Amino acid sequence: MPQAKTDLFDNDLQELALIFKALGHPARLQILKFLGNRDACFSGDITEIVPLGRTTVNQHIAELKKAGLIKGTIQGSKTNYCLNPCGIEKLTKLGIDFCTELENINNFQSKEC
């Protein structure tokens, strides 16, 4: 396997970039928002929340897991999806206030300044 170009950068930059990358797709944000807006974890089909095919959504879920932002534990025939507090705290430490974000998702207006 040839050396990846990203290895040319500091580890700090690489890690930070990976976190932002995980947040860089509307489907993944929608999933995070959905889980963040609930009191408890969600047991069921996240597919129905996201306007994409089930397989694709699963792929996005896998990426969120990989980034440590959500957890999925199998319970019987269903899977229980939760935010991963550690991952969210990591965001907070990086200056990304997840709650602020969630709030802004709902009423964020882009205006040129």
For position 38 contacting DNA by CB under 7 A, the verdict is no
Describe the crossing of helices 26-36 and 54-66 by its angle, rounded to 10 degrees: 70
Structural tokens at position 91: 């965001």
Q: Which of residues 67-96 bind DNA (CB under 7 A)?
A: 72, 76-79
Strands 70-75 and 42-43 turn out to be unpaired
The phi and psi torsions of 72 (rounded to 5 degrees) equal: -135, 110
Dihedral of the CA atoms 9, 14, 16, 21 (nearest 10)?
120
What letter represents residue 12's amino acid?
D
Q: Considering CB distances under 5 to 8 angstroms, the limit depending on partner class, which of its own copies, DNA, none binds residue 90?
A: its own copies
Give the residue with the Cβ less far from its own copies, 17 or 62: 17
Does position 63 interact with its own copies (CB under 8 A)? The reply is no
Binding flag, residue 25, its own copies (CB under 8 A):
yes
Binder of residue 73, out of its own copies, DNA, none (CB less than 5 to 8 A by kind):
none
40 is an interface residue for DNA by CB under 7 A: no
Per CB under 8 A, does 93 bind its own copies?
yes
